[in-house]
Amino acid sequence: MLGSCTKAPDRPVAFAPGEARPGVFERPAGVASDAPLRTWHGKAITLRTDSDERYALALVQKLDSFLAQANAELSRVLDVPMRRVAATIVVFEEQDRYQRHARRNAPGLINNGGYYDGSTRTVVTYRFNNSMQLFFHELVHAVMAEQFQDHHFSRYTRSNWPIWFDEGMSEYLGSYAVEGGGIRIPAPNKGKLAYLSNALTHRAFVPLRTLLTAPASRFSGSSMNIYYAESWGLMDYLVHHVVHRSQVPLFFRKVRAGEDGLAAFQHCFGRDLAAFESSWLAHIRRTVRPPRRPVALFSGHSIDDWTVHEGGQWDVKDGAIVGRGDKHYNYLIKSEVPLRDFTFELDMMLEDGTAGLILGNNYHGEYPYYYLVDVARDAVMLRRSYTATRIVPVKQAFADIALGKWVHLAVTVLDRTISVSVDGREVMVTRSDRESYSLFGLYLYHARARFKNARLSRERRELPGWARKHAVVRPGGAGAPAASPGGPVSPLRTHRPSPRAPAF
């Protein structure tokens, strides 16, 4: 099944030492004949890919590290002995090769980002979708299959099977944080939190009983994102709840023995589903509160916690993200909890072509990239994207941006007004038609560019002068009434159309 992009152990876990051993070119069964794959062997992972050697070696290390952590964490959460897990992962460089393979071997999953083939213990996916999050999600299915002794997912065919439990655990353990040169799991999943927050705001949250009894079909197609988000959210809530976490192993044993999923849930976590759901939703609302302090989006060391969409080459060198575009639009995206008033800023060096920034949102049913801020040699343009093909220019301004030199760019959204600045000089202001944003990213169009010091700062709205003058002082010297978020204005730039929607 598909995974998409959290609470954590106390200490970070480094990647396993680089022990991947290159193999020879070969064609695994079912793989398109025009896509020769090279094989790389790690401790527990066998990687088959047509991607470059440097990427393959680094990926094997990360997958080995993840699999060891996921196996240990699942054993802890379910209170079961660890089982030895070895898996093969096939990673195609291009989506079309993945789709040709899936069309022959898993026709129903052509438009998913990847899948786990239990008959061969193989994860099949492609590089430029949801990358690390998806790879990890599918590997958890292999670990879960060992615990259930069911690699063919026959349990999914039972009418009373809790699909949310399998998919929720794969999302929960597949959510990670980057720390130095390593990863740790599990970790807060900002993308899933954004989906949950937006679903609550727009009254699109799937009721608990519906989630608990949902068939596998709800985890694919148009309903996929919200069902995965809620399954992650429910698992995260259970595992970290002071009482419920002790009942998770019992729930696992009951459903493994064939008990009805809904009956097992009520036996373990309470028969009053309405009361449970109310407590769960209150927890989500607390969790998605915007951060008070600035959030660094890029550590200067790794982009493993970003999502690559539509290709391009994205690397880290000398503390900066280095992007080299190809013939497509290439995107690098980061999720945060939804924000209304904020500044998204960074330093950028444009070397060639057009690059830019993205403001978007993880909301079920909408195209995720709302606004594109294009930066070219002598102009900045703001565009509004409604679909992958319907993209409307909003405003353009001239700005002298020297190639090969760093400039500071900032986009401030304040009270539904967007301000774009370059090196502290405001170059355009316009009204926004969206209330909140949770996706922040970079993109390239036939471009080469570098980015560093990317961060988000929450803004606070100031009361207008007349309101401050007439503000009522509360008893006890509390001062003026609480103001809505808002704040200072910041800097930025633009050009052209964008791609199909990514899977988040």
Full set of structural domains in the chain with CATH: 21-287 (3.40.30.160), 295-469 (2.60.120.560)
Lookup: tokens for 383: 């565009």
Looking at residue 35, its pLDDT comes to: 53
Looking at residue 142, its pLDDT comes to: 93
- Bridge-based pairing state of the strands 369-375 and 342-360: antiparallel
Q: How far apart are CA 231 and CA 228, in angstroms?
A: 5
Higher pLDDT, 172 or 490: 172
Taking all residues of the chain, what is their mean pLDDT, rounded to a whole number? 85
Given a cut of 60, whether residue 14 has pLDDT beyond it is: no
Looking at residue 132, its pLDDT comes to: 84
Q: Token match 């500071």: residue? A: 408
> What is the arithmetic mean of pLDDT over 260-276?
98
> What is the arithmetic mean of pLDDT over 408-420?
97
> What is the arithmetic mean of pLDDT over 249-276?
97
| Lowest-confidence segment of 106-110, 327-331, 484-488 by average pLDDT | 484-488
Residues 333-375 have pLDDT tens digits of 999 999 999 999 999 999 999 999 999 999 877 899 999 999 9
Lookup: tokens for 422: 């370059």
Residues 6+ apart with CB under 8 A from 301: 178, 180, 181, 316, 319
Looking at residue 13, its pLDDT comes to: 26
Lookup: tokens for 447: 């471009």
Model confidence at 9, pLDDT cuts 50, 70, 90, reads very low
Residues 6+ apart with CB under 8 A from 160: 259, 260, 261, 262, 263
Neighbours of 496 (CB within 10 A): 17
Most confident of 170-184, 287-301, 438-452: 438-452
> What is the arithmetic mean of pLDDT over 409-435?
96
Given a cut of 70, whether residue 110 has pLDDT beyond it is: yes
> What is the arithmetic mean of pLDDT over 25-40?
60
Please answer whether residues 290 and 337 qualify as being in contact, where contact means their C-beta atoms are separated by less than 8 angstroms: yes
Please answer whether residues 49 and 93 qualify as being in contact, where contact means their C-beta atoms are separated by less than 8 angstroms: yes
Given a cut of 70, whether residue 467 has pLDDT beyond it is: no
Q: How far apart are CA 437 and CA 357, in angstroms?
A: 13
Residues 72-88 have pLDDT tens digits of 999 999 999 999 899 99
Given a cut of 90, whether residue 266 has pLDDT beyond it is: yes
CA distances to 84, 162, 346, 354 from 449, rounded to whole Å, are 44, 46, 13, 9
Lookup: tokens for 296: 């660094």
Given a cut of 60, whether residue 486 has pLDDT beyond it is: no
Given a cut of 50, whether residue 401 has pLDDT beyond it is: yes
Higher pLDDT, 140 or 482: 140
Looking at residue 18, its pLDDT comes to: 27
DSSP bridge partners of 292: none
Q: How far apart are CA 367 and CA 404, in angstroms?
A: 33
Lookup: tokens for 31: 């793989």
Residues 115-173 have pLDDT tens digits of 999 989 999 998 875 578 888 999 999 999 999 999 999 999 998 999 999 999 999 99
Nearest Cα residue to 400 out of 431, 434, 425, 436 = 425
Given a cut of 60, whether residue 496 has pLDDT beyond it is: no
> What is the arithmetic mean of pLDDT over 43-51?
95
Q: How far apart are CA 341 and CA 339, in angstroms?
A: 6
Q: Token match 């954590």: residue? A: 8
Q: What is the DSSP letter of 62?
A: H
Looking at residue 481, its pLDDT comes to: 32
Q: How far apart are CA 350 and CA 401, in angstroms?
A: 8
Q: Token match 């992972």: residue? A: 45
Given a cut of 50, whether residue 1 has pLDDT beyond it is: no
**What does R_g of the chain's alpha carbons equal in angstroms?**
23
Higher pLDDT, 304 or 111: 304
- Bridge-based pairing state of the strands 417-422 and 307-309: unpaired
Residues 198-216 have pLDDT tens digits of 999 999 999 999 999 999 9
Count the residues in the chain.
Answer: 504
CA distances to 92, 173, 243, 495 from 141, rounded to whole Å, are 19, 10, 26, 41
> What is the arithmetic mean of pLDDT over 183-208?
94
Looking at residue 34, its pLDDT comes to: 65
CA 440 to mean position of chain CA atoms: 11
Looking at residue 28, its pLDDT comes to: 44
Q: How far apart are CA 129 and CA 308, in angstroms?
A: 6
Looking at residue 448, its pLDDT comes to: 97
Q: What is the SS3 assignment for 502?
A: coil
What's the distance, Cα to Cα, between the start and end of the chain in Å? Answer: 14
> What is the arithmetic mean of pLDDT over 40-55?
94
Looking at residue 42, its pLDDT comes to: 96
Q: What is the DSSP letter of 297?
A: S
Looking at residue 61, its pLDDT comes to: 93
